[in-house]
Amino acid sequence: MFYGIELTSRLMLGTAQYPSPAVLREAIAASGTDVITVSLRREGPDGAAFRQILADSGCRILPNTAGCHTAREAITTARMARELFGTTWIKLEVIGHADTLQPDPFALVEAARVLCADGFEVFPYTTEDLILGEKLVEVGCRVLMPWGAPIGSGQGLRNVEGLRAMRAHFPDVPLVIDAGIGAPSDAARAMEMGFDAVLLNTAVARADDPVAMAAAFARAVEAGRMAHTAGLMPRRDMAQPSTPVFGMAELG
């Protein structure tokens, strides 16, 4: 549940880089997602047509502030998105490093503070840093979106232990793995670790068959969640036989 909204799918899908509008439509449908993200930077001469695709999907729109590098720029973009899309949901990105696209922690917290006070329901793109997560929660964020790896890298979950620690540190805060997911197995692993959802874009949009890949991710997320709720067996340092030795026949 995110800001009081119950969703049926734990997969959130981005809408950039698809080879055609038709493929985007089909990928959204195949993913089964309830939430699609969109940047104001996609707006242009064909903006109305693009928004129609979003409207036809029946999904909740999660606008984002992709490409913003200062708190002021992100705040302005968020307010424009609220007016354009008619939603208080905003995926907050404030980029601090050009190569890794890692968020600027100071600008991120400042922008989140202003937007939360302004009535936004903020989904901050952050790292697995626990102190940064605490600061974001303190200013009003009720969801955290730690990266799996740098945006568009396809590296998967690069700091598994850090993400495990974050999940344990914020047991009551919805956590969404955002960025870096490259394969359905990455998404399944995130869900097995107890994360609440996965947000991805490039792994689907740039696949040879985006529609089939969207369907694959939908199944991976569902399987990972089922595995988590069923209870994964603990890892052991030594082998343990699955067949008990007691009661076995003795051959003399």
Which residues define the annotated binding site for 1-deoxy-D-xylulose 5-phosphate?
152, 179-180, 201-202
Give the contacts of 127 (CB within 8 A, at least 6 positions apart).
102, 103, 105, 146, 147
Residue pair 62/12 in contact (Cβ under 8 Å)? The answer is yes
Q: In whole angstroms, what is the distance from residue 71 CA to residue 124 CA?
A: 12
List binding-site positions.
Answer: 152, 179-180, 201-202
Residue ranges of E strands in the chain:
11-14, 35-39, 60-64, 89-92, 121-126, 145-146, 176-178, 197-200
Is 91 part of the annotated catalytic residue set? Answer: yes
Catalytic hit among 91, 113, 135, 189? 91
Q: In whole angstroms, what is the distance from residue 163 CA to residue 181 CA?
A: 14
For residues 165, 166, 167 and 173, what is the CA-based torsion angle, rounded to 10 degrees? Answer: 150
Q: In whole angstroms, what is the distance from residue 10 CA to residue 142 CA?
A: 17
Residue pair 152/17 in contact (Cβ under 8 Å)? The answer is no
Q: How deeply is 197 buried, as exposed, middle or buried, from its count of CB atoms within 10 A (0-12, 13-18, 19+)?
A: buried
Residues assigned a catalytic role: 91
